[in-house]
A = this chain, B = another copy of it.
């Protein structure tokens, strides 16, 4: 009560010298490697006073008010620093803030999630890929990053059900069965071939290139994403999702 009135008074008088939460940005970066959905994680530093020393964590850190124009730029910067990828699919996931999530005090993080193609994975520094098995990560993460990651996985699965998001996980050229495989990896269930092809081809999001993928059996048509490809939203989900 008293606290609330105090803040109102401060707000009305225009003074800003009250305690501010810490502000961070974290990025959940997904890619498909070894036919599995994987997430990029870093190890926390071991220094004096560091929270969660040597734990695995999402890449991220404090917003730099001198350097970051806005939150999305901050997220893009962190992604670039870890992977070298400049223009991935990058979407805001949500924010997590509380008094207890960081032992250093009240803090709020703005979480983003990114999808990058497998062949764009030029890792720098300490970042490493970790597979998601059964919709979960084995390891425990620092802070509430486990919760954030779970939320990102859920959001991804949800959207894959009715959007073309997996296209952003594909290399420059890919076949329709390749794409279907990625859908199935993310959803962790098989999809119907003919319905899948009908849906994707009628979405006008990919175009054939003049080559075929050759292998030990029938060659498959190669496709690429069309330019300026926003994600496509379908009007139905695939199966009854349970």
Instruction: Mark interface residues in A1-42 (1 if CB within 8 Å of B CB, else 0).
Output: 001100110111110101111110000000000000000000
> Within 8 Å of chain B (Cβ to Cβ): is A92?
yes
In the complex, the answer to whether A18 meets B62 with C-beta atoms within 8 Å is yes
Which listed residue (B8, B22, B235) contacts A16, Cβ 8 A? B22
The residue on B at minimum CB distance from A234 is B237
**Closest residue to A71 on the B side, CB-wise?**
B97
Assess whether A45 is interfacial by the CB under 8 Å rule. Answer: yes
| Separation of A22 and B19 alpha carbons in the complex (Å) | 9
Contact, CB under 8 Å: A20 / B18: no
Residues of chain B within 8 A (CB-CB) of A236 are 235-237
Would A70 and B95 count as touching, CB distance under 8 A?
no
Contact A71 B95 (CB under 8 A): yes
**A108 interface hit (Cβ, 8 Å):** yes
Q: Bound complex: CA of A99 vs CA of B63, how far in Å?
A: 11
How far, in Å, is A61 (CB) from chain B's closest CB? 6
A241 proximity list for chain B (CB < 8 A): 235
Copies of this chain, complex-wide, total: 2
Q: Tell me which of B12, B19, B99 contacts A50 (CB under 8 A).
A: B12
Given contacts A70-B97, A98-B69, A108-B71, contact A62 B7 (CB under 8 A): yes
Q: A66 interface residue, CB < 8 Å from B?
A: yes
Point out the residue from B3, B62, B94 that lies within 8 Å of A67, measured CB to CB: B3
A143 at the interface (CB under 8 A from B): no
For the complex formed, measure the closest distance between the CB of A105 and the CB atoms of chain B, giving whole angstroms: 8
A47 touches B (CB below 8 Å): yes
Q: Decide: A64 and B20 in contact? CB cutoff 8 A.
A: no
Interface contact B67-A4, CB-CB below 8 Å: yes
CB proximity of A111 to chain B, nearest CB, Å: 9
B235 touches A14 (CB 8 A): no
Contact: B108 with A63, CB < 8 Å? yes
Q: Does A49 contact B (CB under 8 A)?
A: yes
| A129 in contact (CB, < 8 A) | no
Closest chain B residue, CB of each to CB of A45:
B12
B97–A47 touching, CB < 8 Å: no
- Per-residue CB contact flags for chain A residues 65-106 toward chain B (1 = under 8 Å, else 0) read 111111100000000000000000000101111111000111
Given contacts A4-B67, A19-B65, A68-B99, 12 further A-B contacts (CB under 8 A): A4-B64, A14-B47, A16-B104, A20-B65, A23-B23, A23-B108, A65-B99, A69-B98, A95-B95, A108-B108, A235-B237, A236-B236
